[in-house]
Amino acid sequence: MSTMPSFTSMNASDLAEILFTSPLQESDRPSAEQVRTAINDRFGACRGDSSRWIAAVAQEAGDHPDTYLPRMRWALTTVYAAYPGLTTAA
């Protein structure tokens, strides 16, 4: 079973940003396990460097402002479902 990245400074917003940059889509209806795996994979691809996924989120927001908010809402809601008990701040 995949788990949350191995450091304690992650919160729901951080994980949602990582999920936002993953290839998962709302239409995929991913399971909690698929969400955790996608986050872990994307976190690894970014080598744990938050500036990499933050830059990808910013780029996507600039390129597709019409879909940014719905996708980020989906990512945040999905993270809360996949990681019960998360907080919004570290």
Burial of residue 40 (CB within 10 Å: 0-12, 13-18, 19+) is: middle
Indicate if the pLDDT at residue 6 is higher than 80. no
* 60 vs 83: CA distance, rounded Å: 24
Residue 79 has pLDDT above 50, yes or no: yes
Say what the pLDDT of residue 23 is: 93
Looking at residue 8, what is its pLDDT?
55
Single pTM value for the model: 0.83
Phi, psi dihedral angles at 4 (to 5 degrees):
-65, 150
**Structural contact between residues 12 and 86, judged by C-beta atoms closer than 8 angstroms:** yes
pLDDT digits (tens, 9 = 90+) for 20-59: 999 999 999 999 999 999 999 999 888 888 888 899 999 9
Domain map (residue ranges) of the chain: 12-22+29-82
